[in-house]
Structure 1
Amino acid sequence: MSKKIDVYGLSDAEIKTLREIAYKLYGKASVSLLAKKLLQKKLQAAAEPEPIQLPPPKCQKRITLRLPDKDRAYLEAAADKRRGTINDVARDIIQSHISHHPILSAFETDTLSQSNYQLVMIGRNLNQIARRLNAGENVSLNSQQIGELKKFIDAHVGKVNHVLQTNRRRKRE
Protein backbone atom coordinates (compact mmCIF):
# COMPACT_ATOMS: atom_id res chain seq x y z
CA MET A 1 0.00 0.00 0.00
CA SER A 2 1.48 3.36 -1.04
CA LYS A 3 1.36 6.39 1.18
CA LYS A 4 1.78 9.94 -0.06
CA ILE A 5 4.56 12.09 1.38
CA ASP A 6 4.63 15.85 0.80
CA VAL A 7 7.85 17.89 0.89
CA TYR A 8 7.54 21.57 1.69
CA GLY A 9 9.96 24.47 1.50
CA LEU A 10 11.61 23.87 -1.90
CA SER A 11 12.02 26.84 -4.22
CA ASP A 12 11.05 26.68 -7.88
CA ALA A 13 14.74 26.70 -8.83
CA GLU A 14 15.43 23.77 -6.50
CA ILE A 15 12.52 21.79 -7.95
CA LYS A 16 13.74 22.54 -11.48
CA THR A 17 17.25 21.32 -10.57
CA LEU A 18 15.82 18.18 -8.97
CA ARG A 19 13.80 17.48 -12.13
CA GLU A 20 16.96 17.82 -14.22
CA ILE A 21 18.82 15.42 -11.92
CA ALA A 22 15.96 12.92 -12.08
CA TYR A 23 15.92 13.14 -15.86
CA LYS A 24 19.67 12.52 -16.07
CA LEU A 25 19.53 9.57 -13.69
CA TYR A 26 16.26 7.90 -14.61
CA GLY A 27 15.11 9.36 -17.93
CA LYS A 28 12.04 10.96 -16.30
CA ALA A 29 11.83 14.48 -14.90
CA SER A 30 10.10 13.19 -11.78
CA VAL A 31 11.13 14.62 -8.43
CA SER A 32 8.94 11.96 -6.82
CA LEU A 33 10.89 9.16 -8.55
CA LEU A 34 14.21 10.77 -7.56
CA ALA A 35 13.11 11.06 -3.93
CA LYS A 36 11.83 7.49 -3.91
CA LYS A 37 15.13 6.11 -5.26
CA LEU A 38 17.21 8.18 -2.81
CA LEU A 39 15.09 7.06 0.12
CA GLN A 40 15.33 3.42 -0.97
CA LYS A 41 19.13 3.71 -1.13
CA LYS A 42 19.16 5.14 2.39
CA LEU A 43 17.01 2.25 3.62
CA GLN A 44 19.38 -0.28 2.06
CA ALA A 45 22.40 1.47 3.57
CA ALA A 46 20.68 1.58 6.97
CA ALA A 47 20.21 -2.19 6.87
CA GLU A 48 24.00 -2.64 7.03
CA PRO A 49 25.20 -2.18 10.60
CA GLU A 50 28.11 0.13 11.27
CA PRO A 51 31.28 -1.57 12.46
CA ILE A 52 31.99 -1.47 16.16
CA GLN A 53 34.25 1.45 17.10
CA LEU A 54 37.15 0.17 19.16
CA PRO A 55 39.83 2.41 20.65
CA PRO A 56 43.16 2.20 18.84
CA PRO A 57 45.57 -0.24 20.44
CA LYS A 58 48.12 1.39 22.72
CA CYS A 59 50.68 -1.30 21.96
CA GLN A 60 50.84 -4.52 20.04
CA LYS A 61 51.38 -7.60 22.09
CA ARG A 62 52.32 -11.05 20.96
CA ILE A 63 49.95 -13.93 21.59
CA THR A 64 51.06 -17.53 21.17
CA LEU A 65 48.51 -20.20 20.33
CA ARG A 66 48.84 -23.95 20.41
CA LEU A 67 46.67 -25.48 17.71
CA PRO A 68 45.95 -29.00 16.52
CA ASP A 69 47.71 -29.93 13.27
CA LYS A 70 44.49 -29.74 11.25
CA ASP A 71 43.86 -26.13 12.39
CA ARG A 72 47.46 -25.15 11.60
CA ALA A 73 47.09 -26.79 8.16
CA TYR A 74 43.89 -24.78 7.59
CA LEU A 75 45.67 -21.52 8.47
CA GLU A 76 48.62 -22.40 6.21
CA ALA A 77 46.30 -23.18 3.28
CA ALA A 78 44.32 -19.98 3.86
CA ALA A 79 47.56 -17.97 4.02
CA ASP A 80 48.73 -19.48 0.71
CA LYS A 81 45.37 -18.82 -0.93
CA ARG A 82 45.30 -15.22 0.31
CA ARG A 83 49.01 -14.75 -0.43
CA GLY A 84 49.69 -13.69 3.13
CA THR A 85 51.02 -15.11 6.37
CA ILE A 86 49.43 -17.35 8.98
CA ASN A 87 49.55 -14.37 11.34
CA ASP A 88 47.58 -12.26 8.81
CA VAL A 89 44.90 -14.96 8.49
CA ALA A 90 44.57 -15.43 12.27
CA ARG A 91 44.38 -11.66 12.84
CA ASP A 92 41.75 -11.29 10.08
CA ILE A 93 39.65 -14.10 11.56
CA ILE A 94 39.75 -12.49 15.01
CA GLN A 95 39.02 -8.98 13.67
CA SER A 96 36.19 -10.34 11.52
CA HIS A 97 34.66 -12.04 14.57
CA ILE A 98 34.96 -8.90 16.70
CA SER A 99 33.60 -6.48 14.07
CA HIS A 100 31.03 -8.92 12.60
CA HIS A 101 32.37 -8.02 9.12
CA PRO A 102 34.68 -9.97 6.86
CA ILE A 103 38.21 -8.61 6.59
CA LEU A 104 39.70 -8.58 3.11
CA SER A 105 43.26 -9.67 2.54
CA ALA A 106 45.65 -7.51 0.55
CA PHE A 107 45.30 -9.98 -2.33
CA GLU A 108 41.50 -9.77 -2.23
CA THR A 109 41.64 -5.99 -2.18
CA ASP A 110 44.00 -5.95 -5.16
CA THR A 111 41.73 -8.38 -6.99
CA LEU A 112 38.69 -6.17 -6.37
CA SER A 113 40.60 -3.09 -7.51
CA GLN A 114 41.62 -4.83 -10.73
CA SER A 115 38.04 -6.00 -11.28
CA ASN A 116 36.77 -2.48 -10.82
CA TYR A 117 39.39 -1.10 -13.22
CA GLN A 118 38.41 -3.62 -15.89
CA LEU A 119 34.72 -2.79 -15.47
CA VAL A 120 35.46 0.93 -15.77
CA MET A 121 37.34 0.24 -19.02
CA ILE A 122 34.39 -1.82 -20.32
CA GLY A 123 32.09 1.06 -19.44
CA ARG A 124 34.28 3.47 -21.41
CA ASN A 125 34.19 1.15 -24.41
CA LEU A 126 30.40 0.98 -24.13
CA ASN A 127 30.26 4.77 -24.10
CA GLN A 128 32.27 4.83 -27.32
CA ILE A 129 29.83 2.36 -28.89
CA ALA A 130 26.93 4.50 -27.71
CA ARG A 131 28.48 7.58 -29.33
CA ARG A 132 28.76 5.68 -32.62
CA LEU A 133 25.13 4.61 -32.33
CA ASN A 134 24.06 8.20 -31.70
CA ALA A 135 26.11 9.31 -34.72
CA GLY A 136 24.17 6.85 -36.88
CA GLU A 137 27.09 4.48 -37.49
CA ASN A 138 26.61 0.71 -37.72
CA VAL A 139 27.00 -1.14 -34.42
CA SER A 140 25.83 -4.66 -33.52
CA LEU A 141 24.28 -3.61 -30.17
CA ASN A 142 21.21 -1.46 -29.72
CA SER A 143 21.09 1.45 -27.31
CA GLN A 144 18.71 -0.31 -24.90
CA GLN A 145 21.15 -3.23 -24.50
CA ILE A 146 23.99 -0.79 -23.89
CA GLY A 147 21.95 1.10 -21.31
CA GLU A 148 21.14 -2.10 -19.42
CA LEU A 149 24.79 -3.15 -19.49
CA LYS A 150 25.92 0.24 -18.27
CA LYS A 151 23.45 0.12 -15.36
CA PHE A 152 24.75 -3.33 -14.41
CA ILE A 153 28.38 -2.22 -14.57
CA ASP A 154 27.72 1.01 -12.65
CA ALA A 155 25.95 -0.98 -9.91
CA HIS A 156 28.86 -3.43 -9.71
CA VAL A 157 31.46 -0.66 -9.59
CA GLY A 158 29.50 1.01 -6.79
CA LYS A 159 29.30 -2.20 -4.78
CA VAL A 160 32.99 -2.97 -5.21
CA ASN A 161 33.93 0.60 -4.26
CA HIS A 162 31.75 0.30 -1.16
CA VAL A 163 33.50 -2.94 -0.14
CA LEU A 164 36.93 -1.40 -0.71
CA GLN A 165 36.13 1.79 1.20
CA THR A 166 34.57 -0.15 4.08
CA ASN A 167 37.65 -2.34 4.27
CA ARG A 168 39.98 0.70 4.20
CA ARG A 169 37.90 2.38 6.93
CA ARG A 170 38.14 -0.75 9.12
CA LYS A 171 41.93 -0.87 8.74
CA ARG A 172 42.19 2.78 9.90
CA GLU A 173 40.05 2.17 13.00
Structure 2
Amino acid sequence: MMKEHVVKTRLTDDEKINWQGFCQSCGISQSDMLRMMINRVAPNDSINSGFQEVRTNRITIRFTSENLNKIAYKAKMEGYPNQSNWARATVLSSLYREPVLSNDEINVLRESNRQLAAIGRNLNQIARVLNIEFRESDKITKEMIKMLENRLNQHKQKVNDLLNKNCQRWSITDEPFTA
Protein backbone atom coordinates (compact mmCIF):
# COMPACT_ATOMS: atom_id res chain seq x y z
CA MET A 1 0.00 0.00 0.00
CA MET A 2 1.24 3.46 -0.89
CA LYS A 3 1.98 5.91 1.91
CA GLU A 4 -0.30 8.94 1.93
CA HIS A 5 0.78 12.48 2.81
CA VAL A 6 -1.07 15.62 3.83
CA VAL A 7 -0.73 18.82 1.79
CA LYS A 8 -1.62 22.14 3.42
CA THR A 9 -1.84 25.68 2.13
CA ARG A 10 -3.02 29.04 3.40
CA LEU A 11 -5.96 30.72 1.67
CA THR A 12 -7.63 34.08 2.12
CA ASP A 13 -11.29 34.06 3.14
CA ASP A 14 -12.33 34.83 -0.46
CA GLU A 15 -10.11 32.09 -1.87
CA LYS A 16 -11.52 29.57 0.61
CA ILE A 17 -15.13 30.53 -0.21
CA ASN A 18 -14.42 30.33 -3.98
CA TRP A 19 -12.68 26.96 -3.58
CA GLN A 20 -15.53 25.49 -1.52
CA GLY A 21 -18.13 26.81 -3.98
CA PHE A 22 -16.22 25.43 -6.96
CA CYS A 23 -15.87 21.96 -5.43
CA GLN A 24 -19.51 21.94 -4.34
CA SER A 25 -20.74 22.98 -7.81
CA CYS A 26 -18.73 20.08 -9.28
CA GLY A 27 -20.11 17.67 -6.69
CA ILE A 28 -16.59 16.66 -5.63
CA SER A 29 -14.97 16.90 -2.20
CA GLN A 30 -12.21 19.46 -1.76
CA SER A 31 -9.64 16.71 -1.20
CA ASP A 32 -10.64 14.78 -4.32
CA MET A 33 -10.66 17.96 -6.44
CA LEU A 34 -7.19 18.93 -5.26
CA ARG A 35 -5.95 15.38 -5.92
CA MET A 36 -7.41 15.48 -9.46
CA MET A 37 -5.77 18.85 -10.14
CA ILE A 38 -2.39 17.70 -8.88
CA ASN A 39 -2.56 14.54 -11.00
CA ARG A 40 -3.51 16.58 -14.05
CA VAL A 41 -0.74 19.16 -13.63
CA ALA A 42 2.00 16.79 -12.45
CA PRO A 43 1.09 13.26 -13.59
CA ASN A 44 3.12 10.40 -12.24
CA ASP A 45 3.09 6.86 -13.62
CA SER A 46 3.04 5.38 -10.12
CA ILE A 47 -0.27 7.18 -9.49
CA ASN A 48 -1.88 5.22 -12.30
CA SER A 49 -0.71 1.90 -10.89
CA GLY A 50 -3.87 1.72 -8.75
CA PHE A 51 -6.14 2.49 -11.70
CA GLN A 52 -8.72 -0.22 -12.32
CA GLU A 53 -10.36 -0.48 -15.72
CA VAL A 54 -14.01 -1.41 -15.90
CA ARG A 55 -14.76 -4.97 -16.91
CA THR A 56 -17.94 -4.21 -18.82
CA ASN A 57 -18.88 -1.77 -21.55
CA ARG A 58 -20.66 0.38 -19.00
CA ILE A 59 -19.43 3.30 -16.90
CA THR A 60 -21.60 4.72 -14.14
CA ILE A 61 -21.30 8.40 -13.31
CA ARG A 62 -23.04 10.08 -10.39
CA PHE A 63 -24.17 13.72 -10.61
CA THR A 64 -25.85 16.13 -8.28
CA SER A 65 -29.52 16.87 -8.99
CA GLU A 66 -28.55 20.34 -10.19
CA ASN A 67 -26.01 18.94 -12.67
CA LEU A 68 -28.49 16.30 -13.88
CA ASN A 69 -31.03 19.03 -14.57
CA LYS A 70 -28.42 21.00 -16.55
CA ILE A 71 -27.47 17.89 -18.52
CA ALA A 72 -31.12 17.10 -19.27
CA TYR A 73 -31.72 20.68 -20.42
CA LYS A 74 -28.65 20.73 -22.71
CA ALA A 75 -29.46 17.29 -24.14
CA LYS A 76 -33.01 18.38 -24.94
CA MET A 77 -31.95 21.74 -26.41
CA GLU A 78 -29.32 20.10 -28.62
CA GLY A 79 -31.65 17.47 -30.01
CA TYR A 80 -30.46 14.39 -28.14
CA PRO A 81 -33.12 11.84 -27.14
CA ASN A 82 -31.75 11.50 -23.58
CA GLN A 83 -28.96 12.47 -21.21
CA SER A 84 -26.97 9.29 -21.84
CA ASN A 85 -26.64 9.98 -25.57
CA TRP A 86 -25.58 13.56 -24.84
CA ALA A 87 -23.04 12.42 -22.23
CA ARG A 88 -21.65 9.79 -24.62
CA ALA A 89 -21.28 12.41 -27.36
CA THR A 90 -19.54 14.75 -24.90
CA VAL A 91 -17.04 12.09 -23.87
CA LEU A 92 -16.34 11.05 -27.48
CA SER A 93 -15.88 14.67 -28.52
CA SER A 94 -13.38 15.21 -25.73
CA LEU A 95 -11.63 11.91 -26.44
CA TYR A 96 -11.19 12.37 -30.19
CA ARG A 97 -11.26 16.20 -30.37
CA GLU A 98 -13.75 15.98 -33.24
CA PRO A 99 -17.35 17.10 -33.53
CA VAL A 100 -19.97 14.49 -32.67
CA LEU A 101 -23.15 15.02 -34.66
CA SER A 102 -26.68 14.52 -33.39
CA ASN A 103 -29.24 12.72 -35.58
CA ASP A 104 -30.73 16.09 -36.59
CA GLU A 105 -27.30 17.35 -37.66
CA ILE A 106 -26.61 14.17 -39.61
CA ASN A 107 -29.93 14.65 -41.43
CA VAL A 108 -28.98 18.26 -42.24
CA LEU A 109 -25.69 17.07 -43.73
CA ARG A 110 -27.48 14.37 -45.76
CA GLU A 111 -29.78 17.06 -47.15
CA SER A 112 -26.67 19.13 -47.81
CA ASN A 113 -25.21 16.35 -49.93
CA ARG A 114 -28.47 16.05 -51.90
CA GLN A 115 -28.43 19.79 -52.59
CA LEU A 116 -24.78 19.70 -53.63
CA ALA A 117 -25.54 16.83 -56.02
CA ALA A 118 -28.35 18.88 -57.60
CA ILE A 119 -26.06 21.89 -57.93
CA GLY A 120 -23.40 19.66 -59.49
CA ARG A 121 -25.90 18.43 -62.07
CA ASN A 122 -26.78 22.04 -62.92
CA LEU A 123 -23.10 22.90 -63.33
CA ASN A 124 -22.58 19.89 -65.60
CA GLN A 125 -25.48 20.99 -67.77
CA ILE A 126 -24.03 24.50 -68.03
CA ALA A 127 -20.57 23.17 -68.87
CA ARG A 128 -22.04 20.89 -71.52
CA VAL A 129 -23.88 23.76 -73.18
CA LEU A 130 -20.84 26.03 -73.06
CA ASN A 131 -18.32 23.45 -74.26
CA ILE A 132 -20.18 21.21 -76.65
CA GLU A 133 -23.22 23.04 -77.87
CA PHE A 134 -21.69 26.49 -78.11
CA ARG A 135 -24.40 27.56 -80.59
CA GLU A 136 -26.98 27.24 -77.85
CA SER A 137 -24.92 29.07 -75.23
CA ASP A 138 -27.20 32.09 -75.48
CA LYS A 139 -29.77 30.03 -73.54
CA ILE A 140 -27.62 30.45 -70.42
CA THR A 141 -28.05 33.85 -68.84
CA LYS A 142 -26.18 35.73 -66.17
CA GLU A 143 -29.29 35.47 -64.01
CA MET A 144 -29.18 31.67 -64.16
CA ILE A 145 -25.54 31.60 -63.08
CA LYS A 146 -26.22 34.21 -60.37
CA MET A 147 -29.13 32.09 -59.09
CA LEU A 148 -26.87 29.04 -58.92
CA GLU A 149 -24.20 31.06 -57.10
CA ASN A 150 -26.81 32.28 -54.57
CA ARG A 151 -27.94 28.70 -53.92
CA LEU A 152 -24.34 27.66 -53.33
CA ASN A 153 -23.75 30.56 -50.93
CA GLN A 154 -26.96 29.80 -49.00
CA HIS A 155 -25.97 26.17 -48.79
CA LYS A 156 -22.45 26.98 -47.60
CA GLN A 157 -23.88 29.27 -44.91
CA LYS A 158 -26.24 26.53 -43.70
CA VAL A 159 -23.40 24.00 -43.40
CA ASN A 160 -21.11 26.59 -41.75
CA ASP A 161 -23.82 27.40 -39.19
CA LEU A 162 -24.21 23.69 -38.40
CA LEU A 163 -20.47 23.17 -37.99
CA ASN A 164 -20.07 26.32 -35.87
CA LYS A 165 -22.90 25.25 -33.60
CA ASN A 166 -21.35 21.82 -33.21
CA CYS A 167 -17.83 23.11 -32.56
CA GLN A 168 -19.10 25.59 -29.98
CA ARG A 169 -21.14 22.87 -28.27
CA TRP A 170 -18.07 20.76 -27.66
CA SER A 171 -15.70 23.72 -27.19
CA ILE A 172 -13.38 22.31 -29.82
CA THR A 173 -12.45 25.75 -31.02
CA ASP A 174 -13.14 29.33 -30.09
CA GLU A 175 -12.82 30.38 -33.71
CA PRO A 176 -15.85 30.12 -36.01
CA PHE A 177 -15.57 27.67 -38.88
CA THR A 178 -15.45 29.19 -42.36
CA ALA A 179 -15.27 27.41 -45.66
Q: TM-score range by the shorter chain?
A: 0.3 to 0.5
What TM-score do you get using the length of structure 2 for normalisation? 0.41
State TM-score, norm by structure 1: 0.42
Larger Rg: 2
